[in-house]
Chain A
Amino acid sequence: MADSKISVEQVRHVARLARLELSAADETALQANLSEILQYIDQLNRLDTSAVAPTAQVGEAGTPMRDDVIANRPDPEAMLANAPARAGHLFKVPRIIE
């Protein structure tokens, strides 16, 4: 990669934001892949979009409102059945406060 669009430090910073533990090999590979992809994406700069509005959604539904009423009562056992660790009817996590 002659002209890296993204440094290893940036890769590490983004990995922290994305909550991903990366090995040294991951970092090197991602730096190369992301640089190549970002370089490709740079072709968008050929377009003058200063007067163009962004599109975030293409649907027609808008933002429908509904009454704030309880529509279902899930069984706690069913909700906890996939928990990797639990204590009674609670999800178990590592100690947060010493």
Chain B
Amino acid sequence: MTSELNRMTIAEARDGLARRDFSAIELTRACLEQIKLVDPKINAFITVCAHEALEQAAAADRRLAAGDAPALCGIPLAIKDIYATRGVRTTCASKMLENFVPPFDATVIARLREAGAVFIGKANMDEFAMGSSTENSAFGATRNPHNVERVPGGSSGGSAAAVAADECLGALGTDTGGSIRLPAAFCGVAGIKPTYSRVSRYGVIAYASSLDQVGPFAKTVRDAAILLRTLAGHDPHDSTCSARPVPDYEAALTGDVRGMRIGVPKEYFGAGMEPQVETAIRAALASYERLGATLVEISLPHTEYAIAAYYIVATAEASANLARYDGIRYGLRVEADNTGELYNRTRAAGFGAEVKRRIMLGAFVLSAGYYDAYYLKGQKVRTLIRGDFDRAFARCDVIATPVAPTTAFKIGEKMADPLQMYLSDIFTISVNLAGLPGLSIPCGFDSDGLPIGLQLIGAPFAEETILRAGDAFERTGAITRRAAIL
């Protein structure tokens, strides 16, 4: 029994801990054992926090014994290494921050601490969250637990792989263009990017601030709902963060989708899609019809322009956000005789190739003579993409699409071709530009045993609706399979 604790869902572990069937220490030990066993094969973690995690678990056991257990008491989570964790090295998978130890907690980390969570380790990612495969890490690529020759998706690939490999019960990621939903799909787990402004980003290392959003990975939609309730809510430290009250997302999981109108955008089914992906998505849509939902054909006509608009807006913001890494106050420094040379050399040595590429593209689209042609154009196209969704949600409650046109691609396959890598996010990126919530859930496997993800997109702040839809599908029969390495 004890050796299987790490396989549990958060809901199961919560009940088991409350009944004292096992202790938080035993649960944390089971996850740490699993990490020892499988992480050499998948490299999901940059830093494993065994000592701290066991201390947190001991504290959780004391609270459980005292009958004073908060929502996530004793639940072991993996934390993407983009979150500032007080006293624990936070690298953002970059040489620039290889030895950076934050003096403070991100707001969501403080909330999880208060809720009694155990932080098992800091998960691998694409450097500064720039990538779709978790190959752009200064600490080596993460591999997909379903097939170690394949990528886990990115940029939150370590978090997704850790959940899929039962190294933890849930995880935190971030999503700027698909960085939660794509790895969730490729690794066969649930992942939700909430509405822009639903969750505080204070203490989350910034990539593109008008797009970045915090969200959880979990083994089930219910677990994602449990985590989101703790994460969401107003934060005076993030001026963009919404003051709307946070609903009980778990209570929204009624299993009932009768009368729900599910929009199916014709632009998301076309050339470039693997037939097995389309088959799985169509089968999921048929399940929804059997559950009493109605399918509505809709159009999102500007879909094909989303990647281009994104790579203007996101890189422009990144070029400004990453200006802070100058070798003066923290992070890497390469010494030089004057400050200008010190900046130039520090940044050359500290940033990897993809980060440099995006900083350069962003600086270019903002530079004199190109601002109107690129940056302003990108912002205008963003308006058109938002408009597509506004019109669509007049006719439906949820939009259902594939998360990606293919299953997980091979390690190394797209590393030499940045544009091909960017195109992996074709179905997720519009959602960030429009600021909407999007849920990725497993809906099948291809003939190689690789997971296929279904994306459920909601109107702003309609997390309850997409979680209800995702949970209802999950109840029709588990579309999960143990990862091949387990």
Chain A residues near B (Cβ < 8 Å): 6, 10-11, 13-15, 17-22, 26, 29-30, 33-34, 36-38, 40-41, 43-45, 47, 49, 52-61, 63-64, 66, 74-75, 78-79, 81-85, 91, 93-96
* Residues A81 and B103 in contact, CB atoms below 8 Å apart: yes
* Stretch with Cβ within 8 A of A (4 or more), from B32-40, B75-83, B361-369, B472-480: B361-369
Q: Interface centre among A18, A45, A52, A93, by most B CB within 10 Å?
A: A18
With CB as the reference atom, state the residue of chain B lying closest to A59. B197
Chain B residues with CB under 8 Å of A33's CB are 357, 418
Check if B333 sits within 8 Å of A14, measured CB to CB. Answer: no
Q: Which residues of the partner chain A approach B330 to less than 8 Å between Cβ atoms?
A: 82-84
Choose one: A15, A41, A81, A95; the contact of B312 (CB below 8 Å): A41
Render B208-219 as a binary contact track against A, CB cut-off 8 A, 1 for contact: 001000000000
A20: chain B residues within 8 A (beta carbon)? 344, 347-348, 351, 356, 359-360
Q: In the complex, are the beta carbons of B364 and A19 less than 8 A apart?
A: no
User: CA–CA, A61 to B290, complex, Å?
Assistant: 40
CB of B5 to closest CB in A, whole Å:
36
The CB with the most chain B CB atoms within 10 A, among A6, A13, A47, is that of: A47
Looking at B60-68, B109-117, B174-182, B238-246, the stretch in contact with chain A turns out to be B238-246
Q: In the complex, are the beta carbons of A41 and B241 less than 8 A apart?
A: no
B15-23, B51-59, B186-194, B321-329: which lies at the interface:
B321-329
Residues of chain A within 8 A (CB-CB) of B342 are 93-94
State which of A6, A57, A81 has its C-beta within 8 Å of the C-beta of B101: A81
Q: Is the CB of A59 within 8 A of B361?
A: no
Most chain-A Cβ atoms within 10 A of its Cβ — which of B196, B308, B333? B308
On whether the beta carbons of A58 and B210 are closer than 8 Å, the reply is yes
Residue in A30, A56, A61 whose beta carbon sits within 8 Å of that of B357 in the complex: A30
Partner of A94 from B197, B312, B336, B351 at Cβ < 8 Å? B336
What is the minimal beta-carbon distance from B205 to any residue of chain A, in angstroms? 13
Taking a contact as CB atoms under 8 Å apart, the answer to whether B345 and A36 are in contact is no
Query: What is the CB-to-nearest-CB distance from A63 to chain B, in angstroms, rounded to a whole number?
Result: 7
Bound state CA distance, A17 and B337, in angstroms? 20
The answer to whether B74 has its CB under 8 Å from any CB of chain A is: no
Check B333–A85 contact: CB distance below 8 A. Answer: yes
**20 A-B residue pairings within 8 Å (CB atoms):** A21-B345, A34-B364, A36-B419, A47-B302, A49-B380, A54-B383, A55-B379, A57-B240, A58-B434, A60-B197, A61-B197, A61-B240, A79-B103, A81-B101, A82-B99, A82-B100, A82-B101, A82-B331, A91-B328, A94-B342
Which residues of B pack against A, CB within 8 Å?
99-101, 103, 196-197, 210, 236, 239-243, 302, 304-305, 307-309, 311-312, 319, 323, 326-333, 335-345, 347-348, 351, 353, 356-357, 359-361, 363-364, 367, 374, 376-384, 386, 418-419, 422, 433-435, 460
Distance between Cα atoms of A26 and B356 in the complex (Å) = 10
Q: Are A83 and B308 in contact (CB under 8 A)?
A: no
- The answer to whether B329 touches A37, judged by C-beta atoms less than 8 angstroms apart, is no
Given the known inter-chain contacts A41-B312, A82-B331, please indicate yes or no for A21 contacting B347, CB distance below 8 A: yes
The residue that B348 contacts in the complex, of A21, A78, A81, with Cβ under 8 A, is A21
User: Which A residue sits closest to B323, measured CB to CB?
Assistant: A19
